[in-house]
Chain A
Amino acid sequence: MLSLGTDDQTRLLRVAALTGVALVAFASRLFSVIRYESVIHEFDPWFNYRTTRYLVEHDLDSFWNWFDERSWYPLGRIVGGTLYPGLMITASALWNSLHALGFPVDIRNVCVFMAPIFSGLCAVATYLVTKEVKDSRAGLLAALFIGVAPGYISRSVAGSYDYEGIAIFQMMLTFYLWLKAVKTGSAFFGGVAAIAYFYMVSTWGGYVFLINLIPLHVFALILMGRFSNRVYVAYSTFYAIGTLYSMQIPFVGFQPSRTSEHMAAMGIFGLVQIIAFVQLVRSHMASKQFQTLLLGSVGVGFVLAFAALVFLTMRGYVAPWTGRFYSLWDTGYAKKHIPIIASVSEHQPTAWPSIFFDLQVLTFLFPAGVYFCFRKLNDEHVFIMLYAATASYFAGVMIRLVLTLTPIVCVAAGIAVSNILDTYLKHSPPADSAAEKVASDAKSAVAGSSSDKAADKQPAKDKPTGVRNSESKLVVVAVFAYMMALFVWHCTWVTSNSYSSPSIVLASYTPDGRQHIIDDFREAYFWLQENTAEDAKIMSWWDYGYQIAGMSNRTVIVDNNTWNNTHIATVGLAMASPEPRAYEVMRKLDVDYVLVIAGAVLGYSGDDINKFLWMVRIAQGVYPEIQETDFYAANGQYRVDDTASKTMRDCLMYKLTYYRLNEMYPDGNAWDRVRQTHVPAKNIKLSTMDEVYTSENWIVRIYKLKQPDNLGRPLTDAAAFEENRRRKRKHVKKY
C-alpha cells in the first residue's frame, strides 16, 4: 500500500468502502433466511418463482408461448404476453452461469438471494448517481444509506423475489447514465441509458415513473432556459432507442405510442426537435420579424399538436390513463371505481409515522440535501429536484411508493451529511485527495469507532472562512456520527422486526422464549398437492391464487394478477351468497374445493373475514344482488357475533370460517381471537360441501363440494331430508 500513490490509495479505499457497503446491504437482508429457512415469501413472489422454474426447465421460446391453464380457470393466462420477464430472465441467466461454472445451485436459492444481491448493486448505482451530483464522498454515504434504509429493505429481503427488488437498481442505473448523458451530451451515454431503460421496462411496470420523469427534466430545463445541444442529443438518443427497445417486450407492445402514460415523453421528443430546429434556423437568419413569425408558428404548432392529442384520446385512438396510474392524481378515483385497487393495503395513503419508520434520520436530511443541490444549480441538480418533488408526492399518496422515494432520499441525505463532514472535518488544503480519506474515516465514524480524529486536524488558518475551532468540529461530527449510528441501529431493528417475516411461515414465542413456528399454509398447500386430483379446481380469494398454483400445483379460479375484475367479483359473489346460491355459482365455475383462511383460533388478523368486506364491495360492483349494507349489524358495525346480520350469518364465507368452531370450546363460549368476540353457539350446518381438511391451527380450511343430488333435489333439501330420516330412525330405535 505504501508503494501506491495517494490517488491509488484513495481509489483503493473507495473501492474497499463501496464493497463493504454492498456486503452490508446484502447481509442485512438475510434475517429471514437465518431465522426461518431459504423460502420464497408472500404472494407475488410465488408466481415469479413458478415462472422462473418453468423458464429454467424449458427454454426461452416456450416461455414466451406458455399458456398457463392452471390459473384463471376457465380462462387461462398467456403468461409470456402478460408479465414483465426481466426478473425471471435475470434469475435464469444467473442460474445458468452458476451451473456453467460448476456450482449446482438450486433455482430456489438463486431466487431467494436475488433481491439482496441486487441491493448490493443498487448501492453501487446510487454511489454513481451521487457522484455525478456531488462527489464520491457523498456517494459513499448515499450508498451506505440505500444499503440499509428500511424503505428499500421492505421490498428486497431475501426470499422476497419480486420485481421491485431488482427494479430499483435498474432505475438508479438508468438515472446515472441519463445524468451522464446530459452532462456530456454524448450519444453513447444516451444509448447506454436507453439500454438500461430497456432492462428496467422488461422488469417493472414502475418504468412509467421513469419515462415521465426524464421528459419532465428536459421540459424543466427548457423552461429554465437551460436547453442546450447536450440535452438535445441526450434526450433524442435516449427516447428513440429506449422506446424502440421497450416495444420489444410483448407486455408493453405498442403502448409507448398509444397510451397517455407515454404521451408526455413523445410530446417532449417533438418539442425538443422543434426547438433545435428553431435554434438552427435562427442562427442562420438575421431578420427579427422572421424570428417572431417562426416562434409564433412553433407555438401554434405546439397547441395544435396538443389539441390533436386530446382529440385522439377522446376518439379512443390513444388510451387514457389507466386507473392504476390515474388514481395517483385523483385520489378518490380508485375508491369509487376500482375497489380492487383500493382494497390492497399497500395502496393506502401514507401517514407520517410510516415514512419516518422507513427513513428515520434521512427524512430531515432529505430537504437539507435538496437545498444543497440548489446552491450550485446544474442540469443534474434540476433532475434531483424534480425527482425529489414528484417522488415525495407519490410516496404520500401510496405506501408502496415510498420505495421509489427512498433512493433520492438517500442521495440527498448523502449530500447533506457529506457537506457537514466537508465543513467540519476539513483540514489543510490541498484537500482533494486527503478529503477522500476523510470521507472513508467518516464511514468508520458512522460505525461508531472513531470520530475524535477530527480533533487532530489542523484548521486552515490562511482561509478567511471555515470552521476554525476544534471543539465545535468535534461536537458536530460526534453528534452526526451518533445520529448515523442510531440510524443503522434503527434500520437493523426495523428489518429484523418488521420486514423479515416470510408471511407464509409465522412465528410465535412460547412463554419461555422459545420460538414456535406456525406452518399452516405450507401444510395445507402440501395436503392439496397430495390429496386432490391433478386437475382439481380450487376456489379461494385472489390473494392465495399464486401460492396455491406455486405450492400445490393445482388450478385456481382467480389469482393475484387481478386482470379480470368480473371473474374476481364472481368469486366474491360465491363467498358472499347464501349456500344454495353459492353452490350454483361454484358449479358454474366448475369448482371442486374451496379454501378459506380463518384466523379465529390463532388470532391471525390477515384472514378472510377481515378481507370480506372487500369481497362484498368488489362483488357488488358487478352483481347488484349483493349489497354491502346487508352485511352490517343493525348498529351499522361489522360484526360476527350474535348481533351479526342474517345475510352475514348465512353467507358462505361466514359459514366456512366458523364451521364447527364451537365444538372446540365449552358450550356457548366459541371465541374469535381476531375480532375479540363470541361467536354464535348455534351449530352451523353445511349442506352443499364437506369439510375435508383443516390445518393444525385452523388457519387454512378446505372444503369439498358435494356432487349434485341423484334425485335432482336441491342439496339443502336433500340434506334436510337425510337429517329428518336420521332423526326418525333414532326415534324408532328409542321405542
Chain B
Amino acid sequence: MSRRSRSLLSLVLLQLLLALQFWQPAPASAATLEEVRAITATAKDNILVLNDKNFPKYVEEPRDYSLIIIFSVHSNAFKCEPCERFESEYRLVTSSWEKMGNPNELVFAYVDFGDGRHSFGKMSITSAPAGLYLPPTLGPNASKADPIGYDFNRHGLIAEQFAEFVRKVNGIEMTIYRPIDWVKRGITAAVIITSLVAFKLMFKHILVVIRSVRAWSSLTLVIILMMTSGFMWNQIRHPPYMGGSASHPEYIAPGFQTQFGVETQIMAVLYAACAFATVSLVTRVPKIRDGMTQRVVAFVWLLVLVVGYSLIMMTFRKKNGSYPFKLLF
C-alpha cells in the first residue's frame, strides 16, 4: 500500500445502502442476440442502455451474447469527473465496434446509477466508473466464468486502453476510429503556418530573443522555482487543487510525501520572494545614494527575506511535525 497512492483517479465511492431482499424483479423472458442487436442498431452509439427494470432480462437471464457493462454516475448529486471523461471514450469504443460490423456476440451496455441502483448492488459495484465483462451463458461460447473487471486505476480512461481490455476478454483486435477533429487540425495547421511565417519575417527579432540574457534567465528561473516546489509531482500524481470544504479550505496537505496543487504555487511564490529579496540586497541597495533611504530599503528587503523564510519553515513544520527548527514563527 505504502508505495502507491490508491486514489489515482479519485473515484467516487458510492454508499450503496440497498434493501435488496425487498426487491423482486418482474419475471422476464430471455433475450437473444438478434433482439439486442435490433435495439442497439437504433440506439445511439451502439449502446444497450440498462436500468433496474430491464437489467434482469438482458443480464441475468440466460443469454447467447457476452456483455461489457459500464457502471457510471451521471447526476448532480455525485460529481464523478472520471465517469464523464470515460463516457465519451466509451462511445468511441462502441461506435468503433459498430463500424467493424459487430464482429461477434459481444454487446456493450451502460448503467447509470440514477436508473440502476439495484443493478449496481447486484454486481456489488461500490465505485464508479466500473467496467465488467460477462461471458455468454448460452450458445457455443457459453461459460460460467466470473465477470472480469476493468481496472480504471491501472489502465486509465482512454479508449485505446479499454479496447486492449476488450481484446483480452473477447479475443478480437479492435481499432478505435477517432473522428478527425477538423477544427482542431485546422487550428494546428494555421498556428504552424503562422509561426513559420512569423519566424521568417521576424527572424532578426527572434535571434535577439534567443541571444538575450533576459529571456534565458527568466526561463531558467521559472523552471527552477517550479521544479523545486513540486510541480512535477502534481503533473504525475494529479492531486486535488486544495483540500477541506468550501467553508474551511485547507491549503497544506498533511503528510510529508503528499501535497495539494496550491501548495506548489504557495511555495514557488515564497521561494521567489526570498530569492528576490536576496538579489535585491545585492543589486539594488548599494545603488541607493541617500544613506537613510538605503538603510530603510535594506531593512525592508531583509524583512521580506526573514518573514518569507519563516513562512517556509512554518509550512514545512506542518508537513513534518517533528521538525525542530524555526526562524521567527
Contacts and interface: CB of A to CB of B under 8 A. Distances in A.
**Do A and B assemble together?**
yes
A370 B230 contact: no
Nearest to A409: B228
Contact of B224 (A224, A388, A416, A476): A388
Most buried by B among A395, A423, A489: A423
B155 to A, nearest CB: 8
A420 B282 contact: yes
Interface in A457-509: 464-469, 471-472, 475-476, 479, 483, 486, 489-490, 493
Interface string A578-613: 000000000000000000000000000100001101
Contacts of A371: 217, 221, 275, 279
A628 interface: yes
B106 to A, nearest CB: 19
B247 interface: no
Contacts of B287: 465
Given A367-B275, A467-B285, A629-B149, A361 B309 contact: yes
A244 interface: no
Given A389-B223, A493-B325, 13 more contacts: A223-B211, A225-B211, A350-B230, A351-B230, A352-B263, A367-B221, A374-B216, A395-B227, A423-B285, A467-B294, A493-B324, A610-B2, A637-B6
Chief secondary structure at chain A's binding surface: helix
Contact of A352 (B213, B264, B298): B264
B263 A349 contact: no
B170 interface: no
A444 interface: no
A388 B312 contact: no
A356 interface: yes
A419 interface: yes
6 contacts: A331-B236, A374-B213, A393-B227, A397-B232, A472-B302, A475-B299
Interface stretch (B41-49, B111-119, B181-189, B251-259): B251-259
Contacts of A350: 230, 232-233
Given A352-B259, A389-B223, A610-B2, A396 B320 contact: no
B232 A396 contact: yes
Closest 9 CB pairs of A and B: A396-B232, A352-B230, A392-B227, A364-B274, A396-B227, A374-B217, A472-B298, A368-B278, A368-B275
A364 B232 contact: no
Nearest to A376: B213
Interface string B318-329: 011000110100
Contacts of A352: 228-230, 233, 259, 263-264, 267
Given A472-B298, A605-B2, A364 B227 contact: no
Nearest to B305: A479
B3 A364 contact: no
Contacts, number: 198
Given A393-B232, A475-B299, A489 B325 contact: yes
A181 interface: no
A357 interface: yes
Contacts of B278: 364-365, 368, 416, 420
A364 to B, nearest CB: 4
Contact of A419 (B282, B308, B316): B282
B157 interface: no
A102 interface: no
A615 to B, nearest CB: 11
A356 B312 contact: yes
A423 B294 CA distance: 13
A575 to B, nearest CB: 16
B217 A363 contact: no
A559 to B, nearest CB: 19
Interface centre among A224, A351, A629, A675 (most CB of B within 10 A): A351
Contact of B299 (A357, A423, A472, A636): A472
Contact of B154 (A363, A372, A419, A628): A628
Interface string B299-311: 1001001101100
A392 B228 contact: yes
Interface string B139-159: 000000000010100100000
A285 interface: no
B3 A388 contact: no
B281 A423 contact: yes
A396 B233 contact: yes
B127 interface: yes
Contacts of A638: 1, 6
A343 B309 CA distance: 35
Nearest to A402: B228
A345 interface: yes
Tell me the interface secondary structure of chain B in the complex: helix
Contacts of B85: none
Contact of A611 (B3, B230, B279): B3
A407 to B, nearest CB: 15
B213 A377 contact: yes
A465 B286 contact: yes
Nearest to B316: A356
Contacts of B65: none
A385 interface: yes
B69 to A, nearest CB: 16
B259 A351 contact: yes
B282 A372 contact: yes
Contact of A464 (B124, B210, B263, B289): B289
B21 interface: no
B32 interface: no
A636 B267 CA distance: 35
A354 interface: yes
A490 B325 contact: yes
A510 interface: no
B134 to A, nearest CB: 15
B325 A370 contact: no
Given A365-B275, A423-B285, A468-B294, A370 B319 contact: no
A242 to B, nearest CB: 26
A163 to B, nearest CB: 23
Interface string B181-215: 00000000000000000000000000000110100
Contacts of A419: 282
Contacts of A611: 3
B163 to A, nearest CB: 15
Interface in A603-656: 605, 610-611, 613-614, 624, 628-629, 634-638
B282 to A, nearest CB: 5
A347 B277 CA distance: 34
A396 B230 contact: yes
Nearest to B285: A467
B275 A353 contact: no
B228 A396 contact: yes
Nearest to A635: B126
B295 interface: yes
Contacts of B276: 368
